Amino acid sequence: MKQWLKQIYQHLFALFFPDHCAVCRQRGTLLCGNCRATLQAYPTMAVPTDLVSIQVGWIYDEPARRAIHCLKYRGRRRMGGVLAEALATTLTPPAADALIPVPLHPDRLNERGFNQAEELANSLGLCWGIRVCNRGLERERDTGHQARLNREARQGNVAGAFFWHGPGRPPARVILIDDVVTTGATLSACAEALLAAGAKEVHAIALARSLVRGSSGSAVRRHFAQRRRRQA
């Protein structure tokens, strides 16, 4: 009965408040096919301390930013499934026993109402057939917003902020899931807590990252120049 009522509610909500693409505002979808095609693949990034590997889906430019903000700040939780589905077709995950979303502090979780990394992990778990471990890793200290902090300040800000509280040990092979990565300090701090609790290897996957000037930018330009030549 509850599921039936939920379906009716979703149908009525979609009827009176139809979806619009977060990027171009086209009616009928949260992320249209044309805008999804403009998401630019992120080339590579240095692997943060304590991680075995890290994969980033897209460059955090205007299309990706608008889509992620739709999920993160406008409360459109279904965008998590849309972005996860797109990411699942873009990246191949390493062998793992579980996906673990980067946790929010309880105060931030109460403020936002949901954890965007958890929404992504739940959908990615279905796409990849990997179980999701939403309990155990906790953020015990509110680290606030890190956007204006440099690399060293970010590392110090998140040091010791995460702990594993079970039950039991964490899975042996873990993939951390997050929305946006900058320096990787948060992911590294999460990995440190998991390894200390008994995990054997920790990987990470994120939706997007701002393009760092330098060799990565050159790699991206070469990548899209080659793709344009193939299409021509």
Residue 155 has pLDDT above 60, yes or no: no
Number of domains comprising the chain: 1
CATH number, residue 202: 3.40.50.2020
The residue range of the domain holding 138 is 41-142+152-231
Give me the pLDDT at residue 13, please. Answer: 57
Read off the pLDDT band of 226 (50, 70, 90): very low
pLDDT digits (tens, 9 = 90+) for 159-185: 678 999 988 999 999 999 999 998 899
Read off the pLDDT band of 225 (50, 70, 90): very low
> Does residue 19 belong to any structural domain of this protein?
no
Q: From residue 200, how far is each of 34, 51, 96, 169 by CA, in Å?
A: 41, 10, 11, 11
* Residues 123, 84 contacting (CB under 8 angstroms): yes
Give me the pLDDT at residue 232, please. Answer: 43
> Does residue 188 belong to any structural domain of this protein?
yes
> Does residue 182 belong to any structural domain of this protein?
yes
Helix 62-72 vs helix 116-128: angle between axes, to the nearest 10 degrees? 110
* Residues 186, 101 contacting (CB under 8 angstroms): no
* pTM (2 d.p.): 0.81
pLDDT digits (tens, 9 = 90+) for 47-63: 998 999 999 999 999 99
